[in-house]
Amino acid sequence: MKKIIVASNNEHKIKEIKEILSRFPFEVLSLKEANINIDVEETGSTFMDNAVIKASEIYKIADRNMVLADDSGLVVEVLNGAPGVFSARFAGEHGNTKANNDKLLYLLIGEKEERRKAKFICAMVLIVDEDTMVKVQGEVEGIITAEFSGEEGFGYDPLFFVKEFNKTFAQMTTDEKNSISHRGRALEKLKNELEKLI
């Protein structure tokens, strides 16, 4: 069975990707499972830039297996796209979810719903071989709430409210979230592209 190495060490991300690709005839491996230990600096100015950088760096040492990399983040319209590619380090320190969420709430104090519109975006790159790179992007629209709700998910999920479900991402089950999430939608697009290739 062909292997896809997922270029991430984020357990939540890998779990989501494995679940969504589980119906596919590929063995999905995390970096750890592929015995790859690499720290790629995300120096790009767009999500797609970063996904391409990550996939390319890892493909170099991936023993001709396929490599799937994504870069995701939150984009808030009235903040001119922030936190954007800085989503994981919005408050300065990488991965400090509490500080990132607090900064977001602070910047939106007093704003009405109309001005709390946001999008989660996921740029995804699959390197199939040296000549084939598939790029897709998934998005989901939401509203940044003024209070935290829910315990599931990670990152900005407790503040990201989706009208369709009347829930934040953190209040959804994994299945609910996968069905509409930016990563879910990017993976759906990727599946369509893969079916054309196979």
Does 119 sit near a second copy (CB under 8 A)? yes
Q: How far is CA 197 from CA 16, 115, 132, 133, 190, in A?
A: 23, 42, 10, 11, 11
Measured from the CB atom, the residue of 28 and 48 that comes closer to a second copy is: 48
Nearest approach, Cβ of residue 53 and a second copy (Å): 10
- Tokens representing 155 are 């990152």
Q: Enumerate the active-site residues.
A: 71
Measured from the CB atom, the residue of 107 and 146 that comes closer to a second copy is: 107
Give the contact letters, 65-84, x = binds to a second copy (CB under 8 A), - = no.
----------x---xxxxxx
Q: How far is CA 88 from CA 44, 46, 85, 100, in A?
A: 14, 14, 8, 7
Please state whether beta strands 117-129 and 66-76 pair in parallel, antiparallel, or not at all (unpaired).
Answer: antiparallel
Nearest approach, Cβ of residue 163 and a second copy (Å): 20
Binding region for a second copy (CB under 8 A): 43, 45-47, 75, 79-84, 86, 89-90, 92, 119, 121
